[in-house]
Chain A
Amino acid sequence: MKKPLFKLDEQVYEGVHGELTESILNVKCIRLKPNNMLLTREEKSVITSEKIEDLAVKLLKLAVTELPPDVKNALKRAYEEETSEAGKTQLQAILENVEYAEKTRTPMCQDTGTIIFYIKAGVNAKGLDLFEEALRKATQRATREVPLRPNAVNPFTQKNSGDNTGRFIPFIHWKLVPGETIELTVFPKGGGSENVCTLGMLVPGEGVKGLKRFIVDAVVKAGSKPCPPNIIGVGVGGGADISMKLAKEALLRPLDQPNPDPEIAKLEKEIYEALNTIGIGPMGLGGKITVLGVNIEYAHRHPASYPAAVAFQCWAARRATARINPDGSVEFLTHKPI
């Protein structure tokens, strides 16, 4: 392999000499191609459209075929703890299905969801302008290659686009953070559990009591529909939109990470334990394990409002995250790379 070339003023340095020059003189050299040509803008930025697209396709494939370790562990524990026979058959089938999907790299569920991305973007990271288009292309490619079921339908013409893309879809949630790294998460969200998500503008005077009742009622009303055992994401405060956004973000938090605030963590545990005495059970066939976890996120609220959102996640809690470092290297945070 040819060594990279560094150009400072008219002097060209090779390989390690160039790196040393940069660090000793504390300057940035111009990178040259081996044939001494100047690099194009795209090449200078180590993050390219192709790189983002490839990574996103990989993450989509990983997400729909392999559950993250915290969800797998929670399902195994659920199987151990389940007491009803019907519930146990369901959890056993789920575990077999999960194992088989991972081994054969086929989607664990035929509903491969609406494709949602979350990006934590370092403000000094390069290539952020490339993401929108690259993620759209990745979604189309993954639909063909993985494959994913086409799930993007125009709500007015009822026409399915056939490739999982459409107006605002895939949806990208951006969050700016300090630094130069980019964290990319894919979150394919199934329709069955989405259909029972609920938002309530509660009575502020009732406080946490009202919130608890709202969560329990939402779970009872959902019954067997969201493919239990579920992860319950709760978002409180902020406003109608903010509470639902927080509820969805709560679903991204691994099950083995309670809320860092000990009081909220206690509430999460209390509601989790109470919901697992309600009796809906795996797939609604009756049993102990109705939820795998309860994750709560909150924002401060307006004195006159108490917005609360409950987001449901089916047991197939599919998500995959990777970090892109400033040098272009990629680390997979939830899965082993494929």
Chain B
Amino acid sequence: MAVYKLKTPISEEEIRKLQVNDVIYISGTVVTARDQAHRRALEYFKEGKPLPVNLEGLAVYHCGPAVKREDDKWVIVSAGPTTSTRMEIFEDEFIEKFKVRVIIGKGGMGPKTTEAMKKYGAVYAAFTGGAGALAAKSIKRLISLEWEDLGIPEALWILEVEDFGPLVIAIDSHGNNIFESVMKQVEANKQKVYEKLGI
């Protein structure tokens, strides 16, 4: 397990160095996107419309923050990750079209995303589910809020972060997926647990 500090924009070369179980901290620009934002971004691409932010080399964060309004400004109060599997239907295309290098979320993603990460050079980095206060602490500034019409959790929150982490590389760009290997092991362990409990 190695620890890396990465700055956006992140190059493909930097991504290819990373292995599952490595820990990274990201500084620079992170953009939140959930189901609706993924869908719209891909529609924009099809229609040839530019996105409000160029995502190349950036990190996309599966997150719907808790926010409050203070003196006409948005303050991000708590910003932990949401369950990533909901974005599985979009993510391979999203990585291919926008050259995003890091997807941050919780709970892992499936084989389509793993394959796209291998092909185009991206990683899935798990941030601790529920650690919303810790995430908010590393957010230095809200660069801009886009697609507000999608609602607070679904909008694009373009954030400047400093040492955002620890993020565990759970899917690397070499086809390894921790969540898949863990669940395979768990299925095997289940029989032993049954025995232990006299089932």
Size class of the A contact interface (CB-based, 8 Å): 35 or more
- Of A104, A150, A216, A284, which one neighbours B107 at CB under 8 angstroms? A284
Q: Decide yes or no whether A338 CB sits under 8 A from chain B.
A: no
- Of A100, A227, A286, which one neighbours B134 at CB under 8 angstroms? A100
* Docked complex Cα distance between A106 and B178 (Å): 31
B64 CB contacts on chain A under 8 angstroms: 110, 149
B199 to A, closest residue via Cβ: A213
Which segment, of A36-44, A84-92, A132-140, A301-309, faces chain B?
Answer: A84-92
A5 CB contacts on chain B under 8 angstroms: none
* Docked complex Cα distance between A269 and B129 (Å): 26
With A106-B77, A213-B194 in contact, is A97–B128 under 8 Å at CB? yes
Q: Are B66 and A149 in contact (CB under 8 A)?
A: yes
A85 CB contacts on chain B under 8 angstroms: 1, 21
A271 CB contacts on chain B under 8 angstroms: 197
Q: Decide yes or no whether A192 CB sits under 8 A from chain B.
A: yes
B132 to A, closest residue via Cβ: A110
B187 CB contacts on chain A under 8 angstroms: 220
Q: Decide yes or no whether A47 CB sits under 8 A from chain B.
A: no
User: How does the 8 Å CB contact mask read for B1-45 relative to A, with 1 for contact and 0 for none?
Assistant: 100000000000000000001010000000000000000000000
Q: Are B129 and A107 in contact (CB under 8 A)?
A: no
* Docked complex Cα distance between A85 and B196 (Å): 26
Find residues 190-241 in chain A having any chain B CB closer than 8 Å to their own CB.
190, 192, 209, 212-213, 216, 220, 223-225, 227
Q: Are A90 and B168 in contact (CB under 8 A)?
A: yes
* Docked complex Cα distance between A279 and B179 (Å): 11
B68 CB contacts on chain A under 8 angstroms: 147
Q: Are B128 and A212 in contact (CB under 8 A)?
A: no
B137 CB contacts on chain A under 8 angstroms: 100
Q: Decide yes or no whether B54 CB sits under 8 A from chain A.
A: no
Q: Decide yes or no whether B108 CB sits under 8 A from chain A.
A: yes
User: How does the 8 Å CB contact mask read for B169-187 relative to A, with 1 for contact and 0 for none?
Assistant: 0100000001101110111
Which segment, of B78-86, B95-103, B111-119, B141-149, faces chain A?
Answer: B78-86
B192 CB contacts on chain A under 8 angstroms: 277
Q: Are A314 and B178 in contact (CB under 8 A)?
A: no
Q: Are A160 and B193 in contact (CB under 8 A)?
A: no
B66 CB contacts on chain A under 8 angstroms: 107, 110-112, 147-149
Number of chain B residues whose Cβ lies closer than 8 Å to a Cβ of chain A: 53
Q: Are A278 and B190 in contact (CB under 8 A)?
A: yes
* Docked complex Cα distance between A271 and B80 (Å): 30
With A93-B134, A97-B133 in contact, is A109–B80 under 8 Å at CB? yes
Q: Are A107 and B132 in contact (CB under 8 A)?
A: yes
The distance from the CB of B195 to the nearest CB of chain A, in whole angstroms, is 9
With A97-B133, A106-B77, A108-B130 in contact, is A279–B168 under 8 Å at CB? no
* Docked complex Cα distance between A223 and B153 (Å): 25
* Docked complex Cα distance between A280 and B183 (Å): 7
B78 CB contacts on chain A under 8 angstroms: 101, 106-110, 112, 149
- Of A108, A220, A224, A281, which one neighbours B133 at CB under 8 angstroms? A108
The distance from the CB of A276 to the nearest CB of chain B, in whole angstroms, is 10
User: How does the 8 Å CB contact mask read for B52-72 relative to A, with 1 for contact and 0 for none?
Assistant: 000000000001111110000
A sample of 26 cross-chain residue pairs with beta-carbon separation below 8 angstroms, ordered by A number, consists of A93-B134, A100-B134, A101-B78, A104-B133, A107-B66, A107-B132, A107-B133, A109-B130, A109-B131, A110-B79, A112-B66, A147-B77, A149-B153, A209-B199, A213-B197, A216-B197, A220-B187, A223-B186, A278-B186, A281-B182, A284-B179, A285-B126, A285-B178, A286-B182, A314-B129, A316-B130
13 additional A-B pairs beyond A110-B64, A112-B66, A220-B186, beta carbons within 8 Å, are: A93-B166, A107-B78, A108-B132, A108-B133, A110-B132, A213-B194, A216-B193, A224-B179, A225-B107, A279-B182, A283-B106, A285-B170, A314-B130
B residues with CB within 8 A of A: 1, 21, 23, 63-68, 77-80, 82-83, 85, 106-108, 126-134, 136-137, 151-153, 166, 168, 170, 178-179, 181-183, 185-187, 189-190, 192-194, 196-199
